[in-house]
Chains A and B, each alone.
Chain A
Amino acid sequence: MRRVGEILETVVVVAIILVLVHTFLDDFAVIAGWGVRARSWLIWAGLGFDLFFTMEFFTRLYVALSNRQGTTYFFRERGWVDFLASIPLLLLNSLPHALALLAGAGLLSGLGSFLNVLKVIKAVRIARILRLLRVVKLFRGIRYARSPMAQGHVSSITTIAVSILVLWMLTASILETAGIIPGLEGPFSQGQAARAASITEAGPGAPGLTQKAAAIASLDRTILAVRPQGGAVVWSRYSASYYAENFLAGDYGYLLAGGVEVFLDERPLAVAAAREGLVFFIAVMLTMLAFLFIYAPRFALQISDPIHVMNRGMSENEYNLEVHIPPEHVADDVFELAALYNSVYLPLKDRLGSQGGAPAPALKIDDLRDLAEGK
Chain B
Amino acid sequence: MRAVQTIPDPVNRFASRLLGTPALRQLSALQKEEQAMAVLRTNGAQLLPVFLSLGLDVSRGWREPAALVSRAIRAEADAMMASEVADLLSTRLSFSFFPGLAGGRQAPERAREELRALIARAAAHPVSRNALSGSLVIVRSDIIEKYIPQAWVRKKYIYVEISRVQRLTISAADLSDLTRFVVLVRPAAYLFVTPGETVEKDTGYTPLQEQYIQKILPGIASQAPSLPGALLNLGLRSSIGFTATGGLEATARMGAIMAMRGRALSPSLVVDRGADSPDKSWFNVQRRNARWHALDGRMLDELYTIAAENGW
Contact = CB atoms under 8 A, between A and B. Distances in A.
Q: Are A and B genuine complex partners?
A: yes
A320 B199 contact: no
B3 interface: no
A372 B17 CA distance: 9
A372 B38 contact: no
Contacts of A301: 274
A342 B199 contact: no
15 contacts: A305-B272, A308-B274, A320-B264, A320-B285, A321-B275, A324-B274, A347-B285, A353-B201, A354-B199, A361-B38, A361-B39, A362-B27, A369-B49, A371-B18, A372-B49
B36 A363 contact: yes
Contacts of B49: 369, 372
A274 interface: no
Contacts of B21: 363, 367, 371
Interface in B4-34: 14, 17-18, 21, 23-24, 27
B276 A323 contact: yes
B39 A373 contact: no
A288 interface: no
Interface string A305-332: 1101100100000111111100000000
Given A300-B273, A305-B272, A323-B276, 13 more contacts: A305-B273, A308-B272, A318-B269, A320-B281, A321-B272, A342-B284, A343-B288, A354-B201, A362-B268, A363-B24, A364-B39, A367-B18, A371-B21
Question: Which one of B14, B201, B275, B277 has the greatest number of beta carbons of chain A within 10 Å?
Answer: B275
Size category of the A interface is 35 or more
Contact of B266 (A312, A318, A372): A318
A309 B202 contact: no
B289 A350 contact: yes
A88 B62 CA distance: 66
Interface in A322-375: 322-324, 342-343, 346-347, 350-351, 353-354, 359, 361-365, 367-369, 371-374
A191 B46 CA distance: 86
Nearest to A317: B201
Contacts of A312: 272
Interface residues of B, number: 44
Interface of A: 300-301, 305-306, 308-309, 312, 318-324, 342-343, 346-347, 350-351, 353-354, 359, 361-365, 367-369, 371-374
Contacts of B272: 305, 308-309, 312, 321
A321 B23 contact: no
B200 A354 contact: yes
B245 interface: no
Contacts of A374: 17
A108 to B, nearest CB: 63
A367 B281 CA distance: 31
A322 B266 CA distance: 15
Question: Which one of B21, B27, B202 has the greatest number of beta carbons of chain A within 10 Å?
Answer: B21
B202 A368 contact: no
Contacts of B201: 353-354
Interface string B272-312: 11111110111011101100100000000000000000000
A341 to B, nearest CB: 11
Nearest to B17: A371
A305 B275 CA distance: 8
B50 A362 contact: no
Contacts of B54: 372
Nearest to B274: A305
B35 A363 contact: yes
Contacts of A320: 264, 281-282, 285
A359 B281 CA distance: 19
B271 interface: yes
A353 B202 contact: yes
B194 interface: no
Contacts of A305: 272-275
By Cβ-Cβ distance, the 7 closest A-B pairs, closest first, are: A305-B274, A353-B201, A321-B275, A322-B281, A347-B288, A372-B50, A322-B276
B35 A347 contact: no
A354 B200 CA distance: 8
A362 to B, nearest CB: 5
Contacts of B277: 321
A97 B94 CA distance: 84
B274 A323 contact: yes
B141 interface: no
A363 B39 contact: yes
